[in-house]
Structure 1
Amino acid sequence: EKARETVAYFDKIDPSERSIMRHLYSVSGGTVARGGPAGGGSASAPHLASIVMLLTPSETRQITSSEISRHWRKLAGEIAGVDLISFESNLVHMGANVDVSFAHGDYGVLETAANRLKEVLAGYPGAEDIADSYPTGKKELKMTLTTQARTLGITQEELARQVRGAFYGAEALRLQRGRNEVKVMVRYPEEDRKSLKDLENMRIRTPAGGEIPLRQAANLEAGRGYSVINRTDRKRVINVTAGIDNKVANAEEILSDLKTGTLTELTADYPGLTYDLEGEAKERKDSMQSMGRGFILALFVMYALLAIPFKSYSQPLLIMTAIPFGIVGAILGHLLTGYDLSILSLFGIVALSGVVVNDSLLMIDRINQSRAEGEEVHEAILLAGQRRFRPILLTSLTTFFGLAPMIMETSTQAQFLIPMAISLAFGILFATGITLLLIPTIYYVLEDIRNLFSMKPVHERHGAGSD
Structure 2
Amino acid sequence: SINPADITATFRAALEGSVLYEFPEGDEEVDVRLTVKDESKKDLKNILSIPVENQRNYLVPLGDLVKVQDTETPNSISRREGKRITTVFADMDPKFKGKITPLKIAEDMEQNVFPKVLKSQPSTVLSFTGEVFDSREAQKGLVNASIMVGFLIFAILAILYDSLIKPIIIMLSIPFGMVGVVLAFWLHGKVLFGFFAAIGALGLAGVVINDSIIMLSKLDGEFSSDDENFDGQIADIAKTRLRAVILTTLTTVAGVLPTAYGVAGYDAMLAEMMLALAWGLVFGTLITLILIPCLYSFLENTKRFIKRIFA
Candidates 36, 57, 62, aligned match of 1:215: 62
Candidates 43, 47, 55, aligned match of 1:199: 47
Change in CA separation of 1:170 and 1:372 when aligned onto 2, cut-off 3 Å: farther
- Give the % identical residues: 26
Distance, in Å, in 1 between the alignment partners of 2:256 and 2:249 is 11
The answer for the alignment partner of 2:92 in structure 1 is: none
Q: Is the 8 A contact 1:349 1:424 kept in 2?
A: yes
Aligned pair 1:300/2:145, yes or no?
no
**Runs of at least 5 residues in structure 1 that lack an aligned partner in the other structure:** 1-146, 177-181, 240-245, 267-272, 456-467
In our comparison, the structure showing a higher alpha carbon Rg is 2
Candidates 174, 196, 199, aligned match of 1:323: 174
The answer for the alignment partner of 1:431 in structure 2 is: 284
Aligned pair 1:355/2:228, yes or no?
no
Distance, in Å, in 1 between the alignment partners of 2:241 and 2:127 is 50
Aligned pair 1:369/2:193, yes or no?
no
Aligned length: 273
* AA aligned opposite 1:222: Q
* AA aligned opposite 2:13: Q
* AA aligned opposite 1:355: V
Q: Is the 8 A contact 2:23 2:32 kept in 1?
A: yes
Distance, in Å, in 2 between the alignment partners of 1:331 and 1:352 is 13
* AA aligned opposite 1:219: V
Task: Kindly provide the CA deviation profile for residues 107-148 of structure 1, in whole angstroms up to 9, marking residues without a partner as x.
Answer: xxxxxxxxxxxxxxxxxxxxxxxxxxxxxxxxxxxxxxxx43
**Runs of at least 5 residues in structure 2 that lack an aligned partner in the other structure:** 88-103
Q: Map 1:27-426 onto structure 2 (within 5 A).
A: 147-149=1-3, 154=6, 156=8, 158-166=9-17, 187-189=35-37, 192-203=40-51, 212=59, 215=62, 219-224=66-71, 226-227=73-74, 234=82, 278=127, 289-337=140-188, 339-343=190-194, 344-371=196-223, 381-382=234-235, 384-409=237-262, 414-426=267-279
- How far has the Cα of 1:253 moved from its partner? 8.1
- How far has the Cα of 1:410 moved from its partner? 5.7
Pairwise CA RMSD: 4.7
The answer for the alignment partner of 2:94 in structure 1 is: none
Distance, in Å, in 1 between the alignment partners of 2:24 and 2:226 is 103
The answer for the alignment partner of 2:303 in structure 1 is: 450
- Higher mean displacement: 158-167 or 417-426: 158-167
The secondary structure found in structure 1 opposite 2:66 is: strand
Task: Kindly provide the CA deviation profile for residues 173-214 of structure 1, in whole angstroms up to 9, marking residues without a partner as x.
Answer: 7999xxxxx9998643355444322112325689xxx99455
Q: Is the 8 A contact 2:52 2:62 kept in 1?
A: no
Distance, in Å, in 2 between the alignment partners of 1:164 and 1:194 is 10
Q: Is the 8 A contact 2:223 2:237 kept in 1?
A: no
Distance, in Å, in 2 between the alignment partners of 1:275 and 1:204 is 40
Question: Counting strand residues as a fraction of each chain, which structure ranks higher?
Answer: 1
The secondary structure found in structure 2 opposite 1:453 is: helix
Give me the TM-score of the superposition, normalised by structure 2.
Answer: 0.66
Q: Is the 8 A contact 1:162 1:204 kept in 2?
A: no
Distance, in Å, in 1 between the alignment partners of 2:201 and 2:37 is 72
Give me the TM-score of the superposition, normalised by structure 1.
Answer: 0.46
Distance, in Å, in 2 between the alignment partners of 1:184 and 1:190 is 16
Distance, in Å, in 1 between the alignment partners of 2:123 and 2:248 is 54
Distance, in Å, in 2 between the alignment partners of 1:307 and 1:204 is 90
